[in-house]
Chains A and B, each alone.
Chain A
Amino acid sequence: MTALLKTQGLSMAFGPVQVLCDIDLDVRPGEVHAIIGENGAGKSTLMRLLSGHIRPTAGTLEFDGRPATFAGPADAEAAGIVLVHQEILLAEALSVAENLFLGREITRQGLVDDGAMNRIAAAKLKEIGCHASPKALVKQLSLADRQLVQIARALLVPHRLVIFDEPTAVLTGDEVTTLFGIIRQLQQQGIAIAYISHRLSEVEELADRITVLRDGQMIGTYEASSLTQADMARLMVGRDLSTLYPPRIETAAAGVPILEVEHATVPGFVADVSFSLQPGEILGFAGMIGAGRTELFEGLLGLRPGRAEALRLNGKALRLHHPSEAIAAGIAYLTEDRKGKGLLLRQRLAPNLTLTALSWLVPGWFLDGKREKAALKTAIEAFDIRVRNPDALAGQLSGGNQQKLLLAKVLMSDPALVIIDEPTRGIDIGNKSQIYGFIQQLVRQGKGCIVISSEMQELIGLCSRILVMRGGRISGELCGEAMTEANVAMLATGVAAEAIDEPATQRPRQTAQRHGMQGRAMQAG
């Protein structure tokens, strides 16, 4: 079959940084072509190239047998390439129909024709199985419905190639099934589909062919039937996954828990959550976006309104109303939003590094430039922050180096407990591996460590125990052999509990009971 879309030597560089190199991709009509790769592998850049959002720095693009250059997304849309964005890009205050037709309103004698737009919108929404009313405001819709509205908007124009960029990130089980139905329907109509995801089970289920990207390079295109999920993972990561994570630490004998939380509530996000962190363990928090993981800890640390009946750090009861109290008590929190809440991008490295710990670093009112410089030098060495000029601005560092700087920053106050939210979001594999090493080093030093992550592999590889949250509650606890992607996903989405993998039986009975699944999961599901 001839390709609908073909690229040759497609490359993209931002300044001197090559983010995509020599991509030879071909997508055929009527196939689902999955594009997989780790965060930072270049998937989204490739999609933005194909859909005309950015222009390649080298290489050619052929659409329907003719060379094509797109001046912008509108150009690509006119040719029949539509992109369903990963983030929800809708105007919340407008209605569903108004969003569908935003920028391409139907008019009658110069006035917008709401009647026609609502009719067409209703038909389109029905077609893709979305039950939202065309007149409903987008801000009233659930995340899943918004995603469907976004898909409807993309499909409203005549299309021959539809690109889905991680469409299932905000969807739950049933909604994923609906989406797959839409995709298969498109496929039967002979539409070509490019499907980007790092959820390998979805890829295995949907894809006809799979292209693997790693660090901006194209590893190859494979028939989906020839790859198992393990093969895909190996191709994506480029080495055996086991070497990515440091060897596990055996959990020390139970002593006083480092952290105990009883009945924590964060209005609107978290209802009645209790857990504890034992010395020597890395505790993971898994769950879908919106499950309340970040909000739980922000509530506990005084970053947003919330309360817990009891919060004990190393046996000492705490009441935290402001993040400064949490820091003073010895709890550090590394935010998931590195650029928005973690670092001052327009400031130099040293002020960023010492911002939290100024009170400890130097007594009195005045700054101490020498000591700050020394602290920066120590941090650069200890955390292997790659920067040629220590006077650089934080925003000039790569994502991985920013993350290491942020980690160094939150550790400046020498906390007893570190909560790390998305430790490796958007950073490359080398830096990931290093950060995992740092996290484990912390635990070896006797600090408590909690990791929140949306990457299941990461939690499974790193943590001694995983708590899964769903809808603001803990829906289950996994440890030992029960920590599998399937189990985490089921607890996170609340799909059929009986399908959960059995915990390993070779463990001593006592451990197997204490570890493994706990009953709450079933009730929540």
Chain B
Amino acid sequence: MAMTTTSGAERLRPTISLTTAGPFLALAVLVAIGFLMNPDFLSASNVLNVVTRSSFTAIIAVGATFVISTGGLDLSVGSMAAFVTGIMILFMNMLAGDLGTGAIVAGMGAVLIAGALCGLLNGTIVTLGKIEPFIVTLGTMGIFRALITYMADGGTIPIDRSLRDAYRPVYFGDVAGIPIPILVSLAVAIIASIVLYKTKFGRRCAAVGANEDVARYSGISVRTIRTTAFVIQGLCVGIAAICYVPRLGAATPTTGMLWELQVITAVVIGGTPLRGGSGRIWGTVCGAIILETIGNLMVLSDVVSEYLVAAVQGVIIIIAMLIQRLSK
């Protein structure tokens, strides 16, 4: 029956929809409000500070964009970040005596491998076990958190004193005035958008997320695609950990606490539908910056108590969802 109309095809759709432009408009509004409240808000040092702080969320959220666009969800990223950070520090400390600062490079390799393996674990349980990603990663979230607590014996795993100064520039350094974490997250976002938009793999991610059956009937290995998305998520967690270590100087049982919520929020307010089928890398990055900007604004102004940051972020995510729904 000709229930679907052909007229929609004939109407020229606006090239930029509210969903696509939404996060950027929202950020612009926030920036304008911030400037009006306190001109210092737009000072170079504050802007760089906000964007640097948002880098970790952004890097992990770029990975989450892959998972969510394939129809998955990863709640374990915060615990995973703590766990792989712990592994990295232990590994570096172990090698510090023999390799000196070379241990840092080895540690970076180790954390990437550890992240990828954690992602592989999540992905494999989801696809082979045919269990909802929500449940699987709820489980691994607890496991990773318990492991870091156990490794740290309830305390902290500090980075070896001999490595501290050599490692410091990864967070605190800059190239041409731009902090390294910003450059790293930019590079991650550029590579991710190429992978998601320009490769066959990216196309298949969207297909799997849009309709698993269609993908399967089209000869796509749904398992491989979904598992790979989780591995990418793990790699992103590893990259974020690399940048994060110098700032903290240690891994603790509370490292990365509640990051999963920040990450999912960033992805969703960036315009990626939670049900999957498409991903917006730059929207996600923008979402991460929005979250950090809200926190920063509330610290700079005295209008609302900064204890309410999470409440404001909660309101923002609900508004973002409503806008997406209404703009359909």
Q: CB within 8 Å of B: which residues of A?
A: 14-17, 19, 39-40, 42, 44-45, 303, 322-324, 326-328, 333, 335, 337, 340-344, 346-347, 351, 355-356, 358-359, 362, 365-367, 386-389, 391-393, 395-399, 401, 409, 413, 426, 428
Contacts and interface: CB of A to CB of B under 8 A. Distances in A.
Interface string B271-288: 000000100000000000
Contact of A322 (B4, B9, B203, B221): B221
Interface in B10-50: 10, 12-13
A342 B210 contact: no
Contact of B216 (A303, A387, A409): A303
Contact of A397 (B4, B12, B213, B221): B4
Given A14-B3, A393-B9, 10 more contacts: A16-B5, A44-B1, A341-B216, A344-B211, A347-B206, A365-B199, A367-B200, A391-B13, A392-B8, A392-B9
Contacts of B7: 15-17
B307 interface: no
B8 A367 contact: no
Contacts of A44: 1
Summarize B's interface: helix, strand, loop or mixed: helix
Interface string B197-223: 011111110110011011111111100
Nearest 5 CB-CB pairs, A to B?
A392-B9, A15-B5, A324-B219, A327-B219, A341-B213
B10 A340 contact: no
Contacts of B1: 19, 39-40, 42, 44-45, 399, 426
B9 A388 contact: yes
A346 B210 contact: yes
A322 B220 CA distance: 9
Interface in B278-322: none
A519 B207 CA distance: 46
B213 A355 contact: no
Contacts of A351: 203, 206-207
Contacts of B5: 14-17, 396
25 contacts: A17-B2, A17-B5, A17-B6, A42-B1, A44-B1, A303-B217, A324-B219, A326-B219, A328-B219, A333-B217, A335-B217, A341-B214, A342-B217, A344-B214, A347-B206, A347-B207, A351-B203, A365-B201, A386-B6, A388-B9, A389-B12, A393-B9, A396-B5, A401-B6, A413-B219
B225 to A, nearest CB: 12
Given A365-B200, A367-B199, A355 B220 contact: yes
B213 A340 contact: yes
Nearest to A392: B9
Contacts of A396: 4-6, 8-9
Contacts of A356: 218-219
A256 B6 CA distance: 45
A409 B218 CA distance: 9
Contacts of B211: 340-341, 344
Nearest to A338: B214
A395 B4 contact: yes
Contacts, number: 124
Nearest to B197: A367
* Interface range on chain B (Cβ under 8 Å from partner): 20 to 34
Given A351-B203, A399-B2, A324 B277 contact: no
A359 B199 CA distance: 11
Nearest to A334: B217
Nearest to B10: A388
B81 to A, nearest CB: 29
Contacts of B217: 303, 323, 333, 335, 341-342
Interface in B218-232: 218-221
Contacts of A398: 2, 4, 6
Given A341-B213, A366-B198, A358 B6 contact: no
A324 B220 contact: yes
A80 B220 CA distance: 51
Contacts of B220: 324, 355
B219 A389 contact: no
Interface in B103-151: none
B169 to A, nearest CB: 33
A226 to B, nearest CB: 29
A14 B6 CA distance: 10
Name the residue among B2, B211, B215 with the largest chain A CB count within 10 angstroms. Answer: B2
A14 B2 CA distance: 8
A303 B221 CA distance: 11
Q: Which of A16, A17, A393 has the most CB of B within 10 A?
A: A17
A355 B203 contact: yes
Contacts of A303: 216-217
Contacts of B12: 389
A340 B203 CA distance: 19
A152 to B, nearest CB: 28
Contact of A342 (B2, B6, B10, B214): B214
A391 B2 CA distance: 20
Contacts of A343: 214
A397 B6 contact: yes
A346 B277 contact: yes
A388 B5 CA distance: 13
Given A15-B5, A324-B221, A428-B2, A347 B199 contact: no
B213 to A, nearest CB: 4
B59 to A, nearest CB: 22
Contacts of A413: 219
Contacts of A358: 200, 203-204
A124 B217 CA distance: 44
B224 to A, nearest CB: 10
Contacts of A16: 5-7
Contacts of A347: 206-207, 210, 277
A322 to B, nearest CB: 7
A224 to B, nearest CB: 26
A344 B207 contact: yes
A387 B9 contact: yes
A239 to B, nearest CB: 20
Contacts of B221: 322, 324
A17 B8 CA distance: 12
Nearest to A354: B203
Given A45-B1, A341-B214, A396-B4, A389 B9 contact: yes
A417 to B, nearest CB: 14
A337 B211 CA distance: 12
A399 B207 CA distance: 21
B104 to A, nearest CB: 31
A77 B142 CA distance: 54
B10 A389 contact: yes
Contacts of B214: 340-344, 355
A19 B9 contact: no
B10 A355 contact: no
A323 B200 CA distance: 18
Contacts of B9: 387-389, 392-393, 396-397
A342 B207 CA distance: 11
Nearest to B12: A389
A425 B1 CA distance: 9
Contacts of B10: 388-389
Interface in B65-90: none
B2 A40 contact: yes
Contacts of B213: 337, 340-341
Contacts of B218: 323, 355-356, 409
Contacts of B199: 365-367
